[in-house]
């Protein structure tokens, strides 16, 4: 192994160590837990859903 191959190999190893370390630090943080939706939020979501479904039904042409 000559000197340039050794330098290239050392550079690859050092870069790999830094990348792996960064990935371990970045992926180790736990996501924040989300709070449960309130009854009002659930009601608003369902109202929006049924309103959208009603609009889609009105846009469809009869298939007969």
Q: What angle do CA 59, 62, 64 make, to 5 degrees?
A: 170
pTM metric for this prediction: 0.41
Give a yes or no: residue 7 inside a domain: yes
Give a yes or no: residue 49 inside a domain: no
Give a yes or no: residue 43 inside a domain: no
| pLDDT tens for each residue of 4-62 | 999 999 999 999 999 998 888 777 667 778 888 899 999 999 999 999 998 888 777 66
**CA of 61: how far to CAs of 13, 53, 57, 58, 64, in Å?**
64, 14, 9, 8, 9
Give a yes or no: residue 12 inside a domain: yes
| pLDDT tens for each residue of 22-35 | 888 777 667 778 88
Give a yes or no: residue 36 inside a domain: no
């Amino acid at each position: 192994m000559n000197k340039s191959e050794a330098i290239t190999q050392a550079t690859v190893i050092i870069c790999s160590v830094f990348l792996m370390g960064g990935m371990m630090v970045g992926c180790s943080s736990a996501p924040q837990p989300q709070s449960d939706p309130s009854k009002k939020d659930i009601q608003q979501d369902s109202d929006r859903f049924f309103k959208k479904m009603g609009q889609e039904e009105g846009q469809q042409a009869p298939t007969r």
